[in-house]
Amino acid sequence: MIRVKVPLDLRAVAVGGSGAFALATPLRVRDLIAYAVREAIGTHAPHDKFVRTIHRTLTGLIAGDFTLDVDGRTFADPDAIVVCERSADVRFFLSKRRQGALNRRKAKR
Average pLDDT, the chain: 82
Q: What is the pLDDT of residues 6-21, one digit of tens each?
A: 876 666 555 655 555 5
More confident residue, 12 or 56: 56
Residue 32 has pLDDT above 80, yes or no: yes
Mean pLDDT of 65-74: 93
- C-beta separation of 70 from 89 below 8 A: yes
Q: DSSP string covering 15-67, please?
A: HH--THHHH-EEEEHHHHHHHHHHHHH-TTS-HHHHHHHHHHHHHHHHHTSEE
Please give the pLDDT value at position 15.
Answer: 62
The answer to pTM > 0.85 is no
Q: Which domain holds residue 87?
A: 2-108
Mean pLDDT of 35-60: 94
Instruction: Identify the helix (H) or strand (E) that includes residue 92.
Output: strand 87-94
Q: Report the domain count for the chain.
A: 1
Residue 97 has pLDDT above 60, yes or no: no
